[in-house]
Amino acid sequence: MSGLEHLRADFPVLQREIGGKPVHFLDSAASSQKPTSVLEAMDDFYRCCYANVHRGAYALSVESTERYEAARSRVASFINASDPTQVAFARGATSALNLIAHGWGGEHLRPGDRVLLTEMEHHANLVPWQMVAARTGARLDFVPLTDDYRLDLEALEQKLDDDVAVVGVTGMSNVLGTIPPIPRIAEAARTVGALLVVDGAQLVPHQPVDVQTLGADFLVFSAHKMLGPTGIGALWGRPERLEEMEPYEGGGEMIADVQLHTSTWAAIPHRFEAGTPPIAEAVGFAAAVDYLDKVGMDQVAAHDADLTAYALQLLAEIPHVTVYGPADVDARGGVISFTMADVHPHDLATILDQQGVSVRAGHHCAKPLMRRLCVPATARASFYVYNTRTDVDALVEALGVASRIFGVG
Amino acid sequence: MSLEELYREVILDHYRNPRHRKPLDRADAHAEGVNPLCGDEVTVELAVTDGRISDVAAIGQGCSISQSSASMMTDAILGKTVEEVRDLIQRFKAMMDIDHEADLGLDPDRPGAVLGDLEALQGVRRYPVRIKCANLPWTTLAQALDQLSAS
């Protein structure tokens, strides 16, 4: 037990009952629930000081701008960025990755260049690179996984040569839970002068992250997976990399000057924030990282590890359950993909739902990884600060129901 | 609505022992259906002789609902005329449509009831996200029939 059991009371949705059963929410890898403090921060902001940001000469706009920029500083300090201008707000990790792929890759990739990704990337860190590769003549290459579901670092080092312009890797697999050693990958990428892009959508919500020691050039993450609202995420970049990147969207807020035929861009990071930004969402994002920092990211990681170890142990005792991911909790986060005999994951998810257990079933936006695992889909349980061992027990009991209905074992 | 009503024995039997799962040597129509959201896949092949379905195959992968629906579908359409099959597709889709419950008369003992085993899938209607699983083979079958009329 990790001692965070009291946090569940902070999450209004988790106080509900559905079909007479408590909510055992095990789908935080898709999106997390929100604590009261985040809901209130956004509500208070709309009630007290909302107006559009930047260039407003009146008090409300000034206050709103201050709150928006304070949120940027807060998110920047959460990942220990040395300056808030290194953080651009985006719609989420997906749009941030698109910005990097199109804005940096589209500008700098040349025919013959290679973009080295991994077999376990979410579609968000694959499809944008496919689009940019098609446009620039760059080629995609992939680091395979080992049989124990880790990134094959030897293969990575073999594939790294001077043609590799970009290395793109997830900080934590949303399917396997695998956490690759980013600092080591960063060092290898640096030796060939490749840019390192880290998809932190799963990593940043669950592990302490310090961009000053991570070694990445870009790190992206989404607020909604870390107790914050939907519609906002962050892109952190080294200042020189941000300067090299072209804006992906043009419009208001992102310009310095506009003529009829040409424009010049605002300074970083505002040049990447065309249009009215998600202002209240930024305020909610800041409240979410406040909450996480108050708990302590080391505690968050330890809590995930406790639940993961407990769940892995119980799942291993259920006949015909196969778990896909590293067995060692030090090499993984709290995302557990599994299958049960010939019961299709969709059927599992339906049966579990009837027991009050919310899991995701499907390809988890990682179809190439599903092919690598030779399964059409998996069921996936994922944990966060508000989960308890009771949720894991409910999962195990519900799997017993599924096993009875399908006559497994 | 209990899970047992969703996962009726006949559904699990068709899932475990799917009928007509072998590709045809000679197919007059071949259509592939996929549900991109959940990954269910069904391929339907038809052979037609004298206006009737003389052979059929449904091959695929996916959940028990999509695959049992495909298997039951093959049993249900074999030997029927193309017109009868089109009528059956409509009846099946109406059965899956939550809004059409009233005018269906789904009592399997009622005069003229023809859906037979397929009526076991009625329980799916209570699980709206699963309706598309049940419908996938039928949508694919309709595409195969369209090929027949086009050729």
User: Quick check: is A374 catalytic?
Assistant: no
Q: Six-digit token pair at A99?
A: 């910005």
Kind of pairing between the strands at A164-170 and A195-199 = parallel
Quick check: A407 and B63 CB within 8 A?
Answer: no
Q: Six-digit token pair at A404?
A: 């009875």
Q: Six-digit token pair at A40?
A: 């209130």
Q: What is the pLDDT of residues A201-230, one digit of tens each?
A: 999 999 999 999 999 999 999 999 999 999
Quick check: B7 and A406 CB within 8 A?
Answer: yes
| Positions of CATH 3.40.640.10 in chain A | 49-293
Mean pLDDT value across residues A279-306? 98
Quick check: A346 and B65 CB within 8 A?
Answer: yes
| Cβ-Cβ contacts under 8 Å, A345 against chain B | 63
Q: Which of B39, B61, B127 sits opposite A362 (nearest CB)?
A: B39
* Residue-level length of chain B: 151
Binning pLDDT at 50, 70 and 90, where does residue B112 land? Answer: very low
| Positions of CATH 3.90.1150.10 in chain A | 5-26+297-405
Mean pLDDT value across residues A331-360? 95
A305-333 burial, b for 16+ CB within 10 Å, e for fewer?
Answer: bbbbebbbebbeebeebebbbbeebebbb
Residue A328 and residue A308: Cα distance in Å, rounded? 10
Q: Is the pLDDT of residue A1 over 90?
A: no
Q: What ranges do the domains of chain B cover?
A: 3-150
Chain B's closest residue to A402, CA to CA, is: B3
Domain A49-293 class? alpha beta
A265 sits in the region (left: phi over 0; alpha: psi -120 to 50; else beta) called: beta
Q: Is the pLDDT of residue B103 over 90?
A: no
The CATH number of the domain covering residues in A5-26+297-405: 3.90.1150.10
H-type alpha helices, A92-126? 93-99, 106-108
Min mean pLDDT across A196-200, B79-83, B90-94 is at B90-94
Chain B's closest residue to A354, CA to CA, is: B3
Domain B3-150 class? alpha beta
* Nearest chain A Cα distance for residue B61, angstroms: 8
Q: Write the CA distances from B62 to A190, A378, B29, B41, B130, integer angstroms.
A: 44, 11, 22, 6, 12
Count how many Cα atoms sit within 13 Å of the Cα of residue A154 in the half-sphere of its side chain. 1
Percent of chain A with pLDDT over 70: 100
Binning pLDDT at 50, 70 and 90, where does residue B111 land? Answer: very low
Chain B's closest residue to A370, CA to CA, is: B39
* Residue-level length of chain A: 409
What is the pLDDT at residue A162?
Answer: 97
Residue A217 and residue B102: Cα distance in Å, rounded? 61
Quick check: B7 and A344 CB within 8 A?
Answer: no
Q: What are phi and psi of A326, to 5 degrees?
A: -60, 140
Say how many CB pairs under 8 Å bridge A and B: 47
Residue whose structure tokens are 């859906």: B115
Residue B148 and residue B142: Cα distance in Å, rounded? 10
Q: What is the pLDDT of residues A99-131, one digit of tens each?
A: 999 999 999 999 999 999 999 999 999 999 999
Who's near B123: CB < 8 A, 6+ residues apart? B1, B5, B6, B8
